[in-house]
A and B are shown apart, each in its own frame.
Chain A
């Protein structure tokens, strides 16, 4: 009897739920990019996997002037893989989770020559590796229940959780005396490892609006991020001992992540039902961060900003599988790199329940 009651309570609402469901594929098949609601449809899931390649050969200094890293021998490449999961609880509430992993190695080589010394050449080879998992973002998007095709509005509440490593790994330096053209060269090789976690929970509040025309859609989004507490980490200090071996120690410091305000505006044009092109202008401002190497001193981190132009297109390969390609050009900024990059994304949609 109990089993029957249990089955009744489970199966009847379940069957009612099933009765409400619709063919997800047919919705997706007939929905152009510009027509999509800001949040997913009820019970729709989306897995998005992406790969981004950034060529970092320029940088903006604190005054916003371009510094050519290539001229300084500091150009580098960043590879970034992203995974994003979304699920629509209903047509107005969507859950998000996303994580990324990236890798960027910057190498700098400097040669010092002291012609009047018996060991006239000192070589510095510094490698800084910024790689690993980034923090996990979780959030919820709440779409306003406005019953019009033209306008869509949503509110985002989220947090970035410090799941990734944020304390730097012990460096691996080495020293050797090399012979170069009959002269002794003191060669120092420094290798530093910087993880990409940020060490604290970062709250996020954002909003998005989308406005549609028959073949066009315009959207804009703003997000505000704020770290919920100050972080603690350390940097590695080294010395070369008398046996020509490096020894290391940790020097602790505290820090506050900058508050970040990011935004984008996008225009989409849908020439064909399965093909969409877009032009996106995105940017961010980050300020009010500091680092404290000693108890009685907090040094402000330089304010950062960046504006980027991102043209791209999307192809609906099948109703479930979409392909998106985007190019990034840096337009302006301060205290930030100016990458030129490509972002390739595959989006897979399905209705799991």
Chain B
């Protein structure tokens, strides 16, 4: 049967039932498209990421001289300065000082135990924030505490001291006990950093190289093994499982990959790059802070200095928070945040 075009046309144009259906069809299509176009509120613009933000005393920081940065399990940022301890909160930073019970205003180490209490290491001893009040441990009264780390397997908190080695606080027994003390070696017992890697090994940087403790066996890495110098200041782990070690001496940063040790040059010609912070970012790139020589970025091939952004050339602390933002502490320039996630 031949298709009758003119008949169909007359039906379409004259019968109001069809007109109503066509109108309804277009309304439905409009509704579908509108629903598809519904705005999502949690999407950030590209222009809002990879930006720098700065915090100084005017934002409530106790000082612009930052010693250490720590994020607790609730996402609060704790900033240890030379004039007290600051923690971010609504409306800016709130600060604690000796007036609140701290043993010193010079804060060098911060940690959180498994019960959510904040531990703070100072040149005068060890404080703990318990139920909103500051207490100190008599055990360390008068001793410099420069490094703290909470062990992931709930075996306690390690306390690194200036010249007296490392102690462990047993959370179940509630006692301190020696963890790693090297006899007749003050430099070995002067602890700069404590770090626990993903494989549960504990890495210790001291004035006499680095020690790795795993399953009761101790491995020592110092200048004889390939470190640029013996004063190790920083330790970090990247997402590949490499351990990165920063030292005071030398022109390089050290990578430990399994049993292999290699060096990455700063390419800046400096005879000494005093490394004071190492942190991998969300893109797998390494950020390295130095004293006086600025902040560097290593993409796996080239170490490049970042000139725009850091508020000071002396970088004293680096930390990536749980949302991927990088926090950079400086000596005199305050705190900087490299924002990769502006929602947090």
Secondary structure call for the B interface: loop
Instruction: Give Cα distance in the complex from A247 to B241, angstroms.
Output: 13
Flag whether A324 is at the interface (Cβ < 8 A). Answer: no
Asked if B29 and A288 make an inter-chain contact with CB atoms under 8 angstroms apart, the answer reads no
Asked if A117 and B341 make an inter-chain contact with CB atoms under 8 angstroms apart, the answer reads no
Instruction: Give Cα distance in the complex from A20 to B1, angstroms.
Output: 8
A114 contacts which of B45, B267, B283 (Cβ < 8 Å)? Answer: B267
- Which segment of A76-84, A158-166, A233-241, A265-273 sits at the interface? A233-241
Instruction: Give Cα distance in the complex from A139 to B37, angstroms.
Output: 22
Q: Which of A205, A237, A301 has the most chain B CB atoms closer than 10 A to its own CB?
A: A237
Instruction: Give Cα distance in the complex from A18 to B122, angstroms.
Output: 97
Asked if A90 and B3 make an inter-chain contact with CB atoms under 8 angstroms apart, the answer reads yes
Q: B342 — nearest CB in chain A belongs to which residue?
A: A297
Contacts of A3 in B (CB 8 A): none
Given A145-B8, A239-B240, A297-B323: A290 and B43 interface contact (C-beta under 8 Å): yes
Flag whether A128 is at the interface (Cβ < 8 A). Answer: no
Flag whether B20 is at the interface (Cβ < 8 A). Answer: no
Given A112-B302, A239-B240, A242-B257: A299 and B8 interface contact (C-beta under 8 Å): no
Contacts of B332 in A (CB 8 A): none
How does the 8 Å CB contact mask read for A223-254 relative to B, with 1 for contact and 0 for none? 01010000000000111111000010101000
How does the 8 Å CB contact mask read for B2-40 relative to A, with 1 for contact and 0 for none? 110110110010000000000000000100010011001
Asked if B267 and A20 make an inter-chain contact with CB atoms under 8 angstroms apart, the answer reads no
Measured CB to CB, the closest approach of chain A to B148, in angstroms, equals 28
Asked if A116 and B269 make an inter-chain contact with CB atoms under 8 angstroms apart, the answer reads yes
B44 contacts which of A145, A251, A300 (Cβ < 8 Å)? Answer: A300
Instruction: Give Cα distance in the complex from A300 to B343, angstroms.
Output: 13
Measured CB to CB, the closest approach of chain B to A262, in angstroms, equals 15
Flag whether A188 is at the interface (Cβ < 8 A). Answer: yes
Asked if A147 and B300 make an inter-chain contact with CB atoms under 8 angstroms apart, the answer reads no
Flag whether B131 is at the interface (Cβ < 8 A). Answer: no
- A-side residues, CB < 8 A to B, are 20, 90-91, 112, 114, 116-117, 119, 122, 124, 145-147, 186, 188, 205, 224, 226, 237-242, 247, 249, 251, 259, 288, 290, 293-294, 296-302
- B-side residues, CB < 8 A to A, are 2-3, 5-6, 8-9, 12, 29, 33, 36-37, 40, 42-46, 49, 239-240, 242, 255, 257-258, 260, 262, 265, 267-269, 282-284, 300-302, 323-324, 340-341, 343-344
